[in-house]
Amino acid sequence: MTMNVTDTEVGTLRAGFLGGGFMAAVHSRAVRAAQATPALIASSRPETSASAPRALGITASAIDPAALIASDIDVVHVCTPNATHAAYAAAALATGKHVICEKPLATSVDEARALVTTARESGLVAAVPFVYRYHPQVREMRARIARGELGALLTLDCSYLQDWLLDAGDHDWRVDPALGGNSRAFADIGSHLCDLIEFVTGERIARLSARTRTVHAQRAGAAVATEDIAALLVELTGGALGTVLVSQTAPGRKNALVLEVHGTAESLGFAQERPEELWVGRRTGSHVLLRDPETAAPDAARLSLVPAGHPMGYQDAFNAFVADAYAAVRGARVEGLPTFEDGLRAARLTEAVLASAASGQWIDVAAEVPA
């Protein structure tokens, strides 16, 4: 039986992990940081299931995903290939488990929409790790815009660049549409960037025009059908215009997410590889604002777990996301937790990018209307 901890902070939440790769390691570290128990893991590969408990510090392994979902854990972390996300998340919700599902939530809008409906009807916590929201300087950026310090938003200049698929010999399951879905670069990392655009500005992308490029026709002897690069022009609901460049073939760029916004009063810039900094630009001069919980906006200060001058990074952001998700499981109201509805939004944007790239047309990106 799943332990009910909604009305009490006493008791330890038990987490199960589907998948035994890099993301499962990140998730399990975050679970321990949230003072919960990494109790069970299941992988599609028997050798991973056998070795993962010791390698990741997880108590035990299940014989398969179905056994894990049917067990007495409280939260299921879905860290498997993209095409399996929707089925595993739906099964976990059906057994009364809270779910943290890696993005993309699903490889189609219809599947993502069905998951949103199921999660809403269940009353369970259903979250997607758009974790860059949890960098304190991102929250500082958001707070400055909400306070009106930016002025009216005019333009955006945004990019997310990596190089791990630069060469024709570079290969990964994400390249295969049967496992990764019909979009690769945009669904994998562009979704993070567009989530940040909407989260930080408080506006939606209303329309977009996209072009995509596949750099290598073959990888490891197999034909490639998904994009390495996506370039977008976007128009936000308030009229601001922007550029979004996404690439997994940019030499030397390891995880270079950059979000820069320009208003009538000032500009703001955040670079994920320099997460302690927020660039503030004005016509009369510019400066770099360093993370400091003593002077930060309240929502940024709460995520600053160490004093100024002690760098925080990606795992800290992921830990904060899981801490918020687990606080929500316990009944707390948390600010900015990305949910399955945000996963559905990412699916809609991905669909629009592919449609625009195929047609050469601008695509309206309508907001979902709750059922």
Given this model, what pLDDT does residue 46 score? 72
Looking at every residue in the chain, the average pLDDT score rounds to 93
Quote the CA–CA distance of 59 and 71 in Å, as a whole number.
Answer: 13
Percent with pLDDT over 70 in the chain:
96
In tens, the pLDDT along 202-245 reads 999 999 999 999 999 999 888 999 999 999 999 999 999 999 99
In tens, the pLDDT along 311-324 reads 999 999 999 999 99
3-state secondary structure the chain: CCCCCCCCCCCCCEEEEECCCHHHHHHHHHHHHCCCEEEEEECCCHHHHHHHHHHHCCCEECCCHHHHHHCCCCEEEECCCHHHHHHHHHHHHHCCCEEEECCCCCCCHHHHHHHHHHHHHHCCCEECCCHHHHCHHHHHHHHHHHCCCCCCEEEEEEEEECCCCCCCCCCCHHHCHHHHCCCCHHHHHHHHHHHHHHHHHCCCEEEEEEEEECCCCEECCEECCCCCEEEEEEEECCCCEEEEEEECCCCCCCCEEEEEEEECCCEEEEECCCCCEEEEEECCEEEEEECCCCCCCHHHHHCCCCCCCCCCCHHHHHHHHHHHHHHHHCCCCCCCCCEHHHHHHHHHHHHHHHHHHHHCCCEECCCCCCC
With a threshold of 0.85, does the pTM exceed it?
Answer: yes
Phi–psi pair at 278, nearest 5 degrees? -135, 115
Q: How confident is the model at residue 366 (pLDDT cuts 50, 70, 90)?
A: confident
Given this model, what pLDDT does residue 261 score? 98
Given this model, what pLDDT does residue 370 score? 53
Residue 121 has pLDDT above 70, yes or no: yes
Given this model, what pLDDT does residue 6 score? 30
Given this model, what pLDDT does residue 2 score? 32
Given this model, what pLDDT does residue 4 score? 32
Given this model, what pLDDT does residue 367 score? 72
Given this model, what pLDDT does residue 368 score? 66
Residues 6 or more apart whose CB falls under 8 angstroms from that of 367 comprise: 204, 345
Quote the CA–CA distance of 314 and 323 in Å, as a whole number.
Answer: 14
In tens, the pLDDT along 204-215 reads 999 999 999 999
Quote the CA–CA distance of 277 and 93 in Å, as a whole number.
Answer: 39
In tens, the pLDDT along 169-190 reads 988 888 888 888 899 999 999 9
Residue 344 has pLDDT above 70, yes or no: yes
Pick from 360, 365, 363: nearest CA to 344: 365
Residues in the chain: 371
In tens, the pLDDT along 136-180 reads 999 999 999 999 999 999 999 999 999 999 999 988 888 888 888
| Domains within the chain, CATH numbers bracketed | 14-131 (3.40.50.720), 134-308+340-359 (3.30.360.10)
